């Protein structure tokens, strides 16, 4: 990619960021994320890696400072519930995988014991 294109992309990105936006990096993939200040403290999905990310609360800001109307609060509540349900499914999948790996480990240990006994 040429330097001119990179420079233009940076200018476009910077033009879209408002003073009230929260800019932070995804802790998993490093993608720079931008969200309106009303997203402080929420769990969102990274647009690159899809993992659940906690939006930081800027220094000096408290959740009580947010001017959310009941509709926005309800929308955020539903989004949080969806993220929670996804996390629960991921936990269950990981538990299943752990059991499978423990069983495979047991089989491997048995094979090693048999080989040493011979």
Q: 56-92 pLDDT, tens per residue? A: 888 877 666 666 677 777 787 788 888 889 889 999 9
**pLDDT(34) > 70:** yes
* Residue 21: strand pairing partners: 36
| pLDDT tens digit sequence for 92-114 | 999 999 999 999 999 999 999 98
1: confidence class by pLDDT, cuts 50, 70, 90: very low
Name the more confident of 49 and 6.
49
- Alpha carbons within 13 angstroms on the beta-carbon side of residue 113 total 6
Query: Coil, strand or helix: which one is 6?
Result: helix
Instruction: Tell which residue, 55, 58, 102, 107, has the closest CA to residue 76.
Output: 55
- By C-alpha distance, which of 25, 59, 56 is closest to 40? 56
Please provide the size of the chain in residues. 118
Distance from C-alpha of 34 to C-alpha of 23, rounded to nearest angstrom: 5
Backbone angles phi, psi at 60, to 5 degrees: 85, -10
Residues forming beta bridges with residue 12, ordered by sequence position: none
Look at residue 10 and tell me whether its pLDDT is greater than 70. no
């Amino acid at each position: 990619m040429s330097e001119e294109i990179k420079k233009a992309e940076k200018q476009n990105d910077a033009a879209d960021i408002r003073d009230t936006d929260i800019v932070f990096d995804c802790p998993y993939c490093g993608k720079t994320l931008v969200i309106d200040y009303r997203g402080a403290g929420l769990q969102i999905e990274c647009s690159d890696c899809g993992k659940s990310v906690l939006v930081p609360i800027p220094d000096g800001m408290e959740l009580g400072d947010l001017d959310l109307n009941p509709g926005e609060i309800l929308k955020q509540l539903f989004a949080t519930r969806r993220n929670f349900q996804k996390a629960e499914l991921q936990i269950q999948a990981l538990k299943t995988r752990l059991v499978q790996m423990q069983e495979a480990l047991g089989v491997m240990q048995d094979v090693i014991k048999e080989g040493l006994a011979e």
